[in-house]
Amino acid sequence: MKRSKATDKTNHYLAMRRLILSAMIGLPLALLISVLSISYYFFTYSIESGTTSSMVRIVEDHRHMIDTFLQERKADLVFVLRSYTFKDLSDPQRLEHVFEHLQEKSNTFVDLGIFNEAGVHVAYHGPYRLEGKIYKDTKWFKEVMKSGYYTSDIFLGFRRVPHFIIAIAKEEQGRRWVIRATIDTYLFSNLVEGVRIGKTGEAYLLNAQGVFQTERRSGGHLLEKDPETLQFPARGGGIRTFVQKDARGEKYLYATTWLREKNWLLVVRQERSDAFKTLSTATYLVLLVSLLGGAAIISLAFFLTGRIVGRMKQADMEKRSLSEQLIRASRLAELGEMAGGFAHEINNPLQIIRSEQALIETILSDLKNAGELKESKDLAELEESMDQIRLQIDRCAKITQSILQFGRQSESSLEEIDLRAYIPQVTAMISKKASVHGIKLVYEISNDIPRVNGDPGQLQQVLINLLNNAMDAVLSRHGTEGGEITIGAFGRGAEKVVIWVKDNGIGISAENLKNIFRPFFTTKPVGKGTGLGLSVCYGIIENMGGTIEVESEKGVGTTFTITLPAEG
Ligand SMILES: Nc1ncnc2c1ncn2[C@@H]1O[C@H](COP(=O)(O)OP(=O)(O)O)[C@@H](O)[C@H]1O
Ligand SMILES: [Mg+2]
């Protein structure tokens, strides 16, 4: 029965602990996580949109630069066309002169050639031997004859080297002729590639079929097909950004747009992890903060829960102990009452017996005086018996009297107490116990102590408690040899009376000294100490308008000092 009660209690504490723990961990953790995830979400969003828009800006600028380059080269050729006639430029020396002039403006020109209406290469200045070759059936020639202007994709042509050309036709006296220049692919490639974003950023051009028009840094050669098929944006200047995996499975952030001058697609791309580097740092930071915060919350929760449940256990224990004390106290009170009633009941017959005995004694002495009873041995024995009976009756009367007195003690009564007589009287009660245990009781009571006003029963309780504690302390240090308790009293002026009890017992540690007046504080084994003695003393002395103080040194001894107001 007792055991199941105990496990009930343990379960109760466990449940309580679980409840407090889950509340203390759950709520702050949920808050922490939601705050972190919300801020992480917004942070991610702003980083992503920031990175994307800077990518868009780079693509725009780059497109503008490449378009401007192509426009300028075209304008160069238009300027030559306007300044010279077909005849002028058919002269190789003139052509060389013009070429050199062009080179001064931009060294990306590789060669320059003039074609007549029939597609015959009339004059050429450049590193190849192309004069006389007929271009009538080539795609570019047809195109330029038709629309007057043409920029090619990269191609190999007669010379078997990747290149691209710009060609412009002119109408002169009803005849068309064409000027064509080749652009240095590598210089042009450099121009396009010249974009630096992070570690992995790169730019390149694709034609409408997805064939490289410039080299790509991360792999991809001129005239090869781009292994990644990109979703091309709509023509008309829009910029498209997206994330896509490449052939190796690496995620890239792309921004693409069509050039204005030529149907080439400008692609700028950067590895996603590189582009969003701050994001991964932020991710680690968020993880770290969550871990640390979580750990802090959890350990704090465990710590606090431990304390709270511990306090609760202690409070419960004190409550239980208090109720046990109450039960014991009420049982004692009942016992006192019963004893009182009992003593009262015994007292009456005792009085009757006593008067009867007195009567017998009177009759006996009357008979003796009248000479009706002779002196004899039997008579002497009878008289002795009578004495014995009287003695025992007196003793019984005394006992019942004192029991009755004890019962009445609970009602406190104020009396003037003369300590000189009172103290030895009270301590006499324990002097027997002291001498049995070999403890020396010493009195140091000065002659002129003012009287104090108080309840003698209560003051007695105080002194008995102090003396009992002192005897316990002395016994645990010395056993039955060498213990000494001094009890003293003196007047301090006319206003104060000091009573002190000093022992040479085990003493009290500084730690315990703070607690000894607390109810239920005891260092004694269960059944021996209740921890109530000193708290009761404290209450009584306080009630009397006095103070109780203690001084102690561990292993040396203890002195309790009571100061009471003198009766004035
Ligand atoms: N004279 C003393 N010497 C040493 N320790 C003492 C003395 N008086 C009291 N104490 C300490 O104070 C505690 C509380 O005393 P008390 O309230 O009378 O309760 P109890 O005697 O039932 O333990 C004791 O357990 C003991 O540790
Ligand atoms: Mg005690």
Tokens standing for residue 454: 């108080």
Q: Residue 146 CB: number of other CB atoms within 10 A?
A: 10
- Say which residue the tokens 């972190």 belong to: 36
Q: Which ligand is nearest to the CA of 523?
A: 1
| CA of 469 relative to ligand 2 center, distance in Å | 5
Kind plus residue range of the DSSP H or E element containing 485:
strand 483-492
pLDDT tens per residue across span 352-375: 999 999 999 999 999 989 988 888
| CA of 497 relative to ligand 2 center, distance in Å | 23
β-bridge partners, 551: 559
State yes or no: pLDDT of 378 exceeds 70.
yes
Share of the chain above pLDDT 70, in %: 96
- Cα(143)–Cα(176) distance, integer angstroms: 13
Structure-derived torsion over alpha carbons of residues 451, 455, 459, 462, reported in degrees to the nearest 10? -150
**Could you identify the atom of ligand 1 that is nearest to the CA of residue 470?**
1
477, 522, 551, 561, best to mutate for ligand 1 pocket (most atoms within 8 Å of CB): 522
**Could you identify the atom of ligand 1 that is nearest to the CA of residue 506?**
4
Structure-derived torsion over alpha carbons of residues 473, 475, 477, 479, reported in degrees to the nearest 10? 180
**Could you identify the atom of ligand 1 that is nearest to the CA of residue 523?**
25
Atom 9 in ligand 1: residue holding the nearest Cα: 469
β-bridge partners, 255: 241, 268
State yes or no: pLDDT of 416 exceeds 80.
yes
- Say which residue the tokens 């922490």 belong to: 32
Structure-derived torsion over alpha carbons of residues 70, 74, 76, 82, reported in degrees to the nearest 10? -170
Q: Which ligand is nearest to the CA of 471?
A: 1
| CA of 293 relative to ligand 2 center, distance in Å | 50
| CA of 532 relative to ligand 1 center, distance in Å | 9
Atom 22 in ligand 1: residue holding the nearest Cα: 529
Residues with CB under 6 A from ligand 1: 465, 469-470, 473, 503, 505-508, 512, 516, 521-524, 529-535, 558
| CA of 133 relative to ligand 2 center, distance in Å | 129
Sequence-separated (6 or more) residues with CB below 8 Å from residue 249: none
Q: Which ligand is nearest to the CA of 504?
A: 1
Atom 12 in ligand 1: residue holding the nearest Cα: 516
State yes or no: pLDDT of 78 exceeds 80.
yes
Q: Which ligand is nearest to the CA of 468?
A: 2
Query: In this structure, are strands 452-454 and 415-417 parallel, antiparallel, or unpaired?
Result: antiparallel
State yes or no: pLDDT of 233 exceeds 90.
no
| CA of 492 relative to ligand 2 center, distance in Å | 28
- Cα(292)–Cα(280) distance, integer angstroms: 18
Report DSSP letters for 176-245, one per residue. EEEEEEEE-HHHHHHHHH----TTT-EEEEE-TTSBBSS--TTS--TTSBPSSPP-PPPSSS--EEEEEE
| CA of 344 relative to ligand 2 center, distance in Å | 32
| CA of 434 relative to ligand 2 center, distance in Å | 16
Backbone angles phi, psi at 85, to 5 degrees: -95, 170
- Say which residue the tokens 């645990």 belong to: 476
Comparing 9-13, 20-24, 250-254, 499-503, the range with the smallest average pLDDT is 9-13
Q: Which ligand is nearest to the CA of 473?
A: 1
Residue with more model confidence, 22 or 414: 22
Cα angle 335, 338, 343 (rounded to 5 degrees) comes to 120
| CA of 461 relative to ligand 1 center, distance in Å | 15
Round the average pLDDT of the chain to a whole number and report it.
Answer: 88
Atom 27 in ligand 1: residue holding the nearest Cα: 523
Atom 25 in ligand 1: residue holding the nearest Cα: 522
- Cα(443)–Cα(228) distance, integer angstroms: 110
Superfamily of domain 84-183: PAS domain (3.30.450.20)
**Could you identify the atom of ligand 1 that is nearest to the CA of residue 534?**
17
| CA of 435 relative to ligand 2 center, distance in Å | 19
Sequence-separated (6 or more) residues with CB below 8 Å from residue 432: none
Question: Per CATH, which fold does 415-565 belong to?
Answer: Heat Shock Protein 90 (3.30.565)
Task: Look up residue 294 and give its amino acid.
Answer: G
Atom 4 in ligand 1: residue holding the nearest Cα: 507
Sequence-separated (6 or more) residues with CB below 8 Å from residue 362: none
State yes or no: pLDDT of 273 exceeds 90.
no
pTM score of the predicted model: 0.53
State yes or no: pLDDT of 128 exceeds 70.
yes
| CA of 468 relative to ligand 1 center, distance in Å | 9
Atom 21 in ligand 1: residue holding the nearest Cα: 529
pLDDT at 173: 86
pLDDT at 299: 94
- Cα(202)–Cα(226) distance, integer angstroms: 14
β-bridge partners, 454: 415
Report DSSP letters for 361-430, one per residue. HHHHHHHHHTT-S---HHHHHHHHHHHHHHHHHHHHHHHHHHHHHHHHTTS---EEE-HHHHHHHHHHHH
**Residues counted in the chain:** 568
- Cα(338)–Cα(360) distance, integer angstroms: 33
Atom 10 in ligand 1: residue holding the nearest Cα: 469
324, 469, 551, best to mutate for ligand 1 pocket (most atoms within 8 Å of CB): 469
State yes or no: pLDDT of 409 exceeds 50.
no
| CA of 414 relative to ligand 2 center, distance in Å | 25
CB–CB of 260/237 below 8 Å?
yes
- Cα(149)–Cα(151) distance, integer angstroms: 7
Query: In this structure, are strands 439-445 and 483-492 parallel, antiparallel, or unpaired?
Result: parallel
Highest mean pLDDT out of 76-90, 234-248, 526-540: 76-90
State yes or no: pLDDT of 216 exceeds 70.
yes
Which H, E and C letters describe 428-476, residue by residue? HHHHHHHHHCCEEEEEEECCCCCCEEECHHHHHHHHHHHHHHHHHHHHH
Closest-CA residue to 63 (of 212, 271, 264, 275):
264
β-bridge partners, 112: 125, 181
Q: Which ligand is nearest to the CA of 531?
A: 1
Q: Which ligand is nearest to the CA of 525?
A: 1
Atom 13 in ligand 1: residue holding the nearest Cα: 522
> pLDDT confidence of 1, banded at 50, 70, 90?
very low
pLDDT at 2: 46
